[in-house]
Amino acid sequence: MMPLTMINTGEPNIIKKIGGKEETRRFLENLGFVTGATVTVVSEIGGNMIVNIKDTRVAIGKDMANKIMV
């Protein structure tokens, strides 16, 4: 398992675990980041990441991406 920030751009990965505080996990779940979902990093600009999750593009910060384990 490794954080989302470590995976290659364009490579689909399965979310295995979401860490962080309860409110952070709930926030990410509302965006579609749930265990078992497929996530693909589209691009990384200045530490922020644009990812594809459930056919939607979402921008998240590096601190949030580090809590998503794939």
35 DSSP β-pair partners: none
Instruction: For residue 48, give the 3-state DSSP assignment.
Output: strand
Output the pTM of the full model: 0.90
Name every residue whose Cβ is closer than 8 Å to that of residue 30 and which is 6 or more positions away in sequence. none
Superfamily holding 4-69: Ferrous iron transport protein A (FeoA) (2.30.30.90)
Structure tokens at 26: 């709930």
Say what the pLDDT of residue 47 is: 81
Q: In the structure, what pLDDT confidence band is assigned to residue 24 with cuts at 50, 70 and 90?
A: very high
Question: Mean pLDDT throughout 27-35?
Answer: 94
Question: Mean pLDDT throughout 42-56?
Answer: 92
Cα gap 47→36, rounded to integer Å? 25
